Amino acid sequence: MGLDINGIKFLLYARQRGVSFAETATIGRQSMLIDEDALAGVLAKAGEGEATSRASEFTASNGYAEPFLQFLGAEEIVSYDASDYEDASVVHDLNLPIGDEHKERFSVVLDGGTLEHVFNYPQAIRNCMDMVRPGGHFLGITPTNNHLGHGFYQFSPELFFRIFSELNGFELEQLLIFEEVQDCDWYEISDPDTVRERVTLVNEEPTMLLIIARRTEVKPVFANPPQQSDYFAIWNSHQRSEVAGIAGMDNFRRTGLSRLTYGAWKKIQRGVNRRFGILGNRDKHFKKIDPFSS
């Protein structure tokens, strides 16, 4: 668990978007995985020129991220881990529910690369969501494509659109994706339920997701389990068609692909996506952003 150059950029970007780090919980104690010069460069690009002289301070000490989090505004920092090997503030196995004393306590809960290692993921993410106070945020840095063997899981963007929903008292403010290559670009991902088709990607580089989700109100998390949007639409369409006497609309018709066989469709998808850089010709799904543009 640690903050590399993209993790640092992400936290600076989140603060610029209004995320408060006043009461910060980290899932796993976060290390600083960046050298002094690279950190100074990111700070300068983010408009934090006065802080570049403190880059050595943020990357020194015991190698952990607390000094940098304090720079972001953290007045309280509590780290959670299943083991005390990194001197976490609270030793708790996230496979199990957290106690009520931890709920609605933090302005931000940061998962910098821990939850993919927790077997009982639904319980672990629910713990994190419960820890966020209303108006606060969950921030996630988590693997998607080409991280085979890194942890138990690598995640689909659809999961986070469905998890951080109004039903659970959250709003997914932004979901970003980037490839782990030098000077990589960031892209904002479209909600499959909005574009009315699956947002897919086949690429050749390790790829990460960045999550910014705000808790809008306290609701029971996962009182209704999340459902993948295209299946949910098909079920609803089928139910409506029984009433209207119209045939149900399957996934190919809904995405305009009814004349393609599944195999031909997959070949097209692979050809479009493999060239990545992330977009190919997929502007509807991935929109390039500059995190520090004025």
Q: What is the mean pLDDT of each run of 10 residues along the chain (294 residues)?
A: 93 97 97 94 94 92 89 98 95 97 98 97 98 98 96 97 97 97 93 91 94 98 93 72 43 43 52 48 80 78
Backbone angles phi, psi at 163, to 5 degrees: -70, -50
- The residue with tokens 């709003």 is 171
- Give residue 238's pLDDT: 63
- Same-domain check for residues 193 and 158: yes
61 falls within a domain? yes
- Strand arrangement of the beta sheet that strand 207-215 belongs to: 90-91, 76-81, 23-27, 106-111, 132-143, 207-215, 170-179, 186-189, 286-289
- Same-domain check for residues 154 and 64: yes
283 falls within a domain? no
- Same-domain check for residues 246 and 132: no
**CATH code at 140?**
3.40.50.150
- Same-domain check for residues 105 and 53: yes
- Same-domain check for residues 76 and 199: yes
290 falls within a domain? no
- Same-domain check for residues 26 and 101: yes
**Closest-CA residue to 6 (of 44, 39, 47):** 39
- Same-domain check for residues 144 and 110: yes
Q: How many residues does the chain have?
A: 294
- Same-domain check for residues 210 and 129: yes
292 falls within a domain? no
- Same-domain check for residues 254 and 135: no
**Closest-CA residue to 151 (of 27, 24, 274):** 27
Report yes or no: 171 and 216 within 8 Å, Cβ to Cβ: yes
Question: Residues 76-102, buried b or exposed e (16+ Cβ, 10 A)?
Answer: ebbbbbbeeeeebeeebebeeebeeeb
- Same-domain check for residues 107 and 172: yes
88 falls within a domain? yes
- Same-domain check for residues 253 and 148: no
Backbone angles phi, psi at 226, to 5 degrees: -60, 145
- Same-domain check for residues 15 and 127: yes
Distance from C-alpha of 213 to C-alpha of 109, rounded to nearest angstrom: 10
**Closest-CA residue to 77 (of 43, 109, 55):** 109
Question: Three-state secondary structure along 159-173?
Answer: HHHHHCCHHHCEEEE
168 falls within a domain? yes
Domain enclosing residue 30, as ranges: 2-215
205: which 2 tokens? Answer: 């580089």
Backbone angles phi, psi at 177, to 5 degrees: -140, 145
Q: How many domains does the chain have?
A: 2
Distance from C-alpha of 167 to C-alpha of 159, rounded to nearest angstrom: 14
- The residue with tokens 């039903």 is 167
